[in-house]
Structure 1
Amino acid sequence: MSDKCDMCLLGLIILSSLLTGTSGEDHVFISSGENVHLSCNKALPDCTSTTWIYSSFRDSAGTVELITGGIKKNDTERHERLSLESDCSLNIKNVTEEDYGFYSCRQYVNGQKQGPDADVFLHVLHVSLFLSSSSSSSSSSSQTEISPGRSVTLSCQLYSLFSCDYLVSSEGFEMLWVNQTGVDLKTDSRYQISSSSDQYHCIIITLTTTLLKEDDNREWRCRLTHGEQLKTSVRYTVKYSDPGETEVSVNAGLLYRVIVTIVEIAVFVPPTVILLQIICARRAGRKDSRPPEEIEMPTILE
Structure 2
Amino acid sequence: MADKCDLCLLGLIILSSLLTGTSGYDHVFISSGENVSLSCNKALSDCKSTTWTYYNRFRHSAGVKLITGGINNKDSERHERLSLESDCSLNIKNVTVEDYGYYTCQQYVNGEQQGPGATVFLHVLHVSVSSSSSSSSSSSSSLSSSSQTEISPGRSVTLSCQLYSYYRFSCDDWVSSRRIELLWVNQAGVDLKTDSRYQILSSSDQDHCILTLTTTLLNEDDNREWRCQLTQGNQLLTSVRYTVKYSVTVMSGAAVAVLLLALLWLICRKRADNKRGTGDSAVKDEDDHTGTYETINMSIPPAARANEQTDYVTYSEVTLPIQSL
**TM-score bin (small chain):** 0.7 to 0.9
Cα distance change, pair 244–154 in 1 and its aligned pair in 2 (3 A): closer
Q: Deviations over 1:142-185 (max 9, x none)?
A: 11111111111000000002323542322221111000001110
In the superposition, the TM-score normalised over structure 2's length comes to: 0.72
Partner-residue secondary structure (3-state), 2:200: strand
Equivalent AA in structure 1 for residue 245 of structure 2: K
Equivalent AA in structure 2 for residue 183 of structure 1: V
* Aligned counterparts, 1:16-165, within 5 A: 16-18=16-18, 20-22=20-22, 26-59=26-59, 61-132=61-132, 133-140=137-144, 142-162=147-167, 163-164=169-170
Equivalent AA in structure 2 for residue 26 of structure 1: D
Aligned partners of 2:124 and 2:163 also within 8 Å: yes
Equivalent AA in structure 1 for residue 194 of structure 2: T
Cα distance change, pair 244–209 in 1 and its aligned pair in 2 (3 A): closer
**Per-residue deviation, 1:107:** 0.2
User: Partners of 2:86 and 2:46 in 1: how far apart?
Assistant: 7
Q: Deviations over 1:191-237 (max 9, x none)?
A: 11111001021x10000111111111111010111111111111111
User: Partners of 1:112 and 1:131 in 2: how far apart?
Assistant: 55
The alignment status of 1:209 with 2:225, answered yes or no, reads: no
Structure 1 runs of 4+ with >6 Å offset? none
Cα distance change, pair 10–204 in 1 and its aligned pair in 2 (3 A): same
Greater shift in the superposed pair: 177-186 or 222-231: 222-231
Aligned partners of 1:57 and 1:161 also within 8 Å: yes
User: Partners of 1:209 and 1:97 in 2: how far apart?
Assistant: 25
User: Partners of 2:112 and 2:65 in 1: how far apart?
Assistant: 17
User: Partners of 2:60 and 2:297 in 1: how far apart?
Assistant: 95
Identity of aligned residues (%): 72
Aligned partners of 2:17 and 2:25 also within 8 Å: no
Q: Count residues in correspondence.
A: 262
* Aligned counterparts, 1:257-276, within 5 A: none
User: Partners of 1:91 and 1:113 in 2: how far apart?
Assistant: 22
* Aligned counterparts, 1:281-292, within 5 A: 281-282=297-298
**Per-residue deviation, 1:13:** 3.1
Q: Deviations over 1:211-269 (max 9, x none)?
A: 11111111101011111111111111111103256x97xx98xx89xx8xx99xx9xxx
The alignment status of 1:236 with 2:242, answered yes or no, reads: yes
**Per-residue deviation, 1:113:** 0.5
Aligned to 1:299: none
User: Partners of 1:148 and 1:157 in 2: how far apart?
Assistant: 25
User: Partners of 1:189 and 1:105 in 2: how far apart?
Assistant: 48
**Root-mean-square deviation over aligned CA pairs:** 3.1
Cα distance change, pair 5–211 in 1 and its aligned pair in 2 (3 A): same
User: Partners of 1:120 and 1:109 in 2: how far apart?
Assistant: 22
Among 219, 224, 232, the alignment partner of 1:226 is 232
| More helix as a share of residues | 1
Cα distance change, pair 63–6 in 1 and its aligned pair in 2 (3 A): farther
Equivalent AA in structure 2 for residue 145 of structure 1: E
In the superposition, the TM-score normalised over structure 1's length comes to: 0.77
Among 189, 192, 198, the alignment partner of 2:196 is 189
Cα distance change, pair 91–119 in 1 and its aligned pair in 2 (3 A): same
Cα distance change, pair 280–106 in 1 and its aligned pair in 2 (3 A): farther
Cα distance change, pair 124–244 in 1 and its aligned pair in 2 (3 A): closer
**Per-residue deviation, 1:110:** 0.9
* Aligned counterparts, 1:160-171, within 5 A: 160-162=165-167, 163-164=169-170, 166-171=173-178
User: Partners of 1:241 and 1:41 in 2: how far apart?
Assistant: 50
Greater shift in the superposed pair: 56-65 or 175-184: 56-65
Aligned to 2:288: none
Partner-residue secondary structure (3-state), 1:105: strand
Partner-residue secondary structure (3-state), 1:15: helix
Aligned partners of 2:50 and 2:67 also within 8 Å: yes
Equivalent AA in structure 2 for residue 138 of structure 1: S
Give structure 1 stretches of 5+ with no counterpart.
Answer: 271-278, 284-302
**Per-residue deviation, 1:136:** 3.1
Aligned partners of 1:6 and 1:63 also within 8 Å: no
User: Partners of 2:19 and 2:196 in 1: how far apart?
Assistant: 40
Equivalent AA in structure 1 for residue 125 of structure 2: L
